[in-house]
Each structure stands twice: as C-alpha cells, then as structure tokens.
Amino acid sequence: MSGDCIFCKIAKGEFGTKFIYEDKDLLAFHDINPQAPVHVLIISRNHISRINQLDDSNPDLAGKMILTANKVARNEKISKAGYRLVFNCGPDGGQEVEHIHLHLLGGRQMSWPPG
C-alpha cells in the first residue's frame, strides 16, 4: 500500500469494486471512464508505480499481466475480433494513476496513431 494510491485502495476493497479476475498477484476490473465498449484494467496487488519500475526482482509480472488480459478478453468475447493492450508510463505516456496497470480495450475498431 502506498499512501493515497487509489488503486491500492481498490485492491484492498475499500470502494467495493467488482473484480472480474483475481489471483494472488493481480486484479482486473472495469475502468470507471471507459474509452471503448470493453475497457478493463489489470493491476498488480502490490504497489509498483510504473512499468519502468519492473526489474530483475520481478521478471514475471508483465507477462502475467498480458496473459491475464488475454484471459479477460476471451471472457469478454473480444478475442477473435481483437483488442488493444496499453501500458501508459509516466507523464509523456499519459499515465495518470501511479500504480502499474494494463489497459485492455476492445469492442470497437481502434485507430492509429494514438492520441
């Protein structure tokens, strides 16, 4: 837990957020401000601020997050049509919540380049 971190509070169940996936390392829940028909966040239970904070002490976490996103995508029935996975990192990456999370976005055609 880190101070006022909103995702740590969600992980502790403080807001009664419905988890659509959980295991010992990760949680997944719907984004409060969805940018697509399916917009799920996969977060670490532990407080890690950004993807660039991962190092040799935690080599498996990002892979687990991606495998979990794939699993959620299958459950959400967007696997075949496809989807987008996004890690925003730091200010230029557009990261607003400083607790590592992977966005799963789908259910519509995505555009490129991103905004």
Rule CB under 6 A: which residues touch ligand 5GP?
A: 6, 17, 29-33, 41, 88, 94-97
Q: Does 2 bind Zn ion (CB under 5 A)?
A: yes
Q: Which residue has the tokens 């794939």?
A: 70
Rounded CA-CA distance 4/37 in Å is 29
Name the β-bridge partners of 38: 106
Partner that binds at residue 47, options Zn ion, ligand 5GP, none, CB closer than 5 to 8 Å by kind: Zn ion
CA proximity to 45, closest of 83, 101, 84, 94: 101
The residue (of 6 and 75) whose beta carbon lies closer to Zn ion is 6
Fill in the amino acid letter for 47: H
The residue (of 73 and 80) whose beta carbon lies closer to ligand 5GP is 73
> Is 101 part of the annotated catalytic residue set?
yes
Rounded CA-CA distance 27/42 in Å is 6
Partner that binds at residue 83, options ligand 5GP, Zn ion, none, CB closer than 5 to 8 Å by kind: none
So which residues are the catalytic ones?
101
